[in-house]
Chains A and B, each alone.
Chain A
Amino acid sequence: MSDKSFVEVRDLKRVFDVSKPWLNRIIERSPRQFLKAVDGVSFDIRKGETFALVGESGSGKSTVARMVVGLLAPSGGEVKIDGISMSSAAAADERQALRRRIQMIFQDPYASLNPRWRVDRIISEPIRAFKVIEGEADIVARVGELLTLVGLHPDDGVKFPHEFSGGQRQRIAIARALASNAEFIVCDEPTSALDVSVQAQILNLMRDLQQKFGLTYLFISHNLAVVRHMATRIGVMYLGRLVEVSEGKELFSAPRHPYTRMLLDAVPDLAMVGRARVGVQGEIPNPISPPSGCTFHPRCPLVFDRCRVEAPVAVNGVACHAVTNATASAAA
């Protein structure tokens, strides 16, 4: 694993227009409304590591994932993969070549596979699209190899997706992602639609493949325990902002941002038998009109005046005035 970052995300922003239709705006005299789904997110992913994004629903995790793979155009900021910008027109040719190296695995394996295609056609599509292998016999052999790699049988290629269980379908989606010899795979909640025993199979498979091919993962999940198991580094998102980025195990042993602490306290865990927990207060506010200053301040136990006015910037991976102050006074 090199220190050079493979994926660089700088100040990424995405604004959605959630205004009412034009006529309603005129009649009801309501202004246009915008939702800042992602608001200035920056992080780096090193080659061969798993970077995880966690957060509750509506925190912008999936929007970040879609922007990183290029399914959604950013409203601001930049994504660079292996030094090539995904948005500048100058690099259009290089970007085309880069596409082969990026793949995505989606949450719902029932929706992400075309139900009218046979499995071998689904898996061979990226091979044909990127012209990775020429020649029909070689493609067939490669599809069989990929199916074996994800724990299915080469003969399964002639079946349709509906003949498989949820876990097997997710294996097919993984085989498809590997078909173009991808190096960077964005996984958006790959196991949240699966049962726990199947989830364990898929997580183990993803780890084995990472070790075998040196894959880099961007792993999106709301499940902290899964993230802890998979991630090298973790970013915690709250209302479109990255509030804390930390080395995997450290986030759990020494969480710094008050939101991370709250989230960790809230997770029901097997180790929690009969233990009392700290009560969590409040819910995620409406992202259309987020609170002023630090968006977490209405729920924060450490809130003080500055938090209500000024949005904190990340210092050493934590965006919190209270934490920054505490470290500064400790150093003085």
Chain B
Amino acid sequence: MARRAKIIGTGSYLPPKILKNDDLTQYMDTSDEWIHQRSGVRQRHYAEPGVYTSDLALEASKKAIEDAGLGPEAIECIVLATLSPDILFPGTAVFLQQKLGIADRGCACYDIRQQCSGFVYGTEMARAFIESGIYRTVLVVGAEIHSSLMEYTTRGRMVTVLFGDAASAVVFQAAETERADDGIFYTEVHADGRGALNGVHQRGYDISHKPYIDYDVLDPEKNFELWPNMSNPRGLYTTGVLKMSEATLNALAKNGLGIDDVDWVLAHQANIHILKDVAERLKIPREKMLVNIDKYGNTTAASIPLLLDEYTRAGRIRRGHLMVFTAFGSGFTWGAALVRY
């Protein structure tokens, strides 16, 4: 018998407002065809003003906890991945804990800052906490409000058109399993800080400035650093394809598995062309590479759990299926996890 972290519940939340590609043409020089050809995105969801990342996280978490057949008080640890925290500090996990109504129970709260790789990093943390016996039940959430962070001008279109708001959550719980390759049975995560400012980043806050915010929102020259900057699109694309493919193949090789053993690849939804290139390198049929970027855009930390929730609820991912989670993102950060549902 092996102690493994099993997925016992999933849930997602999309804010109700939908922005189609054509809706963005009022802000920038673009079109549905321009965006779709370059990214595979057709639409994205946007949170309304006044809504926090922790509010989206709350709705997703409530669904995941309900799906697990538990109450919020069963959660012993919250791991929340986001690049769009509610405020600068404290982290967003404590806001989520309070909104779940379990603040008085004092469970552990972690915020992690690994951008698009956040959920894979969170999966590794859930595995480590559960296999070591520190916690029995861990809630891992990816939640993002990108829509407030974007520049709605032609200058910003390369980044702005890609992203959407969403939250998705997974409840992992300890189980004594018959087979060793059950639940999360392998993870590897990596980072290469040389990519920190050589890919995609957002400086809006800079502690070396005195005071720490130094921009004039009305001055396009001065506010350049306020918005996401994609300094090296080719490097980002190429490194992303190579690292996700490499981590996936390495994970499988280390476990004596081949790509044919895999039922589903849940790769971070950054761009349809990246997903196709990774599928080609993994030599898997396109239908094993799950895709929902057309409906939600890039939702950063929420993208892999959003796929997981959508495809389990649709009955496509079933108990016993072998999944690979793989992601690459700003940092650079990347990784892969092998998970038997």
Tell whether A pairs with B. Answer: no
User: Chain A interface (Cβ within 8 Å of chain B)?
Assistant: none
